[in-house]
Amino acid sequence: MYNLSDLIPSKVARTVKDIDFKALATNGPINVLIDLDGTLAATLSEEYEQQMIDHLLAARKSGFIANICVFSNTGLPFFVPRVRRIAKRLNAEYVACYWPYTMKPSRAAFQKALDKVGGTIYNTVMIGDQLYKDILGANLIGMRSILVKTILPIPSWKRKTHERDEMLYEKLGIKF
């Protein structure tokens, strides 16, 4: 079982474009594992905010980001091409996890993503919108984590999870 403290992110940002990658890279370039659904794009959407992509690419060009991996629980294998397309926009690696294989927040899934970027827990950060998948997984292996506000709309099948997370924000003192 997990403790509530396992759900506390290292940092909080309203969106990906609000993250100060220069401040994160004080000891050299960092690797970024970034969730797709709810973080870079609305769930299952092909539309993403270009400013977020541009912000990540600018941070990489400036030398603050070494490598990027789009790290997504796709659920089913036929969603993998979508992850690949968005990763390609970032010139990034990708890990698309789906059943029956290991998925976030498992250590094995996080290790697979770390291997893709050639990173360690010390020079990599996880950015995501879900406490129990993105933040918990990163925290359990000792990696820095950044929680961002979920991009709307939220599909009906994901609303209970989102409502649970929003209740936990208050309990954990998380403010965007």
3-state SS string for the chain: CCCHHHHCCCEEECCHHHCCHHHHCCCCCEEEEECCECCCECCCCCCECHHHHHHHHHHHHCCCEEEEEEEEEEECHHHHHHHHHHHHHCCCEEEEEECCCCCCCCHHHHHHHHHHHCCCCCCEEEEECCHHHHHHHHHHHCCEEEEECCCCCCCHHHHHHHHHHHHHHHHHCCCC
Identify the pLDDT of residue 75.
Answer: 84
Identify the pLDDT of residue 45.
Answer: 83
- Burial (CB < 10 A; 0-12, 13-18, 19+), residue 36, is buried
Identify the pLDDT of residue 30.
Answer: 98
**Which residue, chain included where needed, has tokens 């290292």?**
10
Identify the pLDDT of residue 46.
Answer: 78
Query: What is the fold, at CATH topology level, of the domain defined by 4-172?
Result: Rossmann fold (3.40.50)
Residues of the chain short of pLDDT 50, as ranges, are: none
- The pTM (predicted TM-score) of the whole model is 0.96
Identify the pLDDT of residue 47.
Answer: 80
> Is residue 174 within 8 Å of 9, Cβ to Cβ?
yes
Annotated domain spans of the chain: 4-172
Q: Report the distance separating Cα 23 and Cα 149, nearest Å.
A: 20
Question: pLDDT for 63-113, tens place per residue?
Answer: 999 999 999 999 889 899 999 999 999 999 999 999 888 999 999 999 999
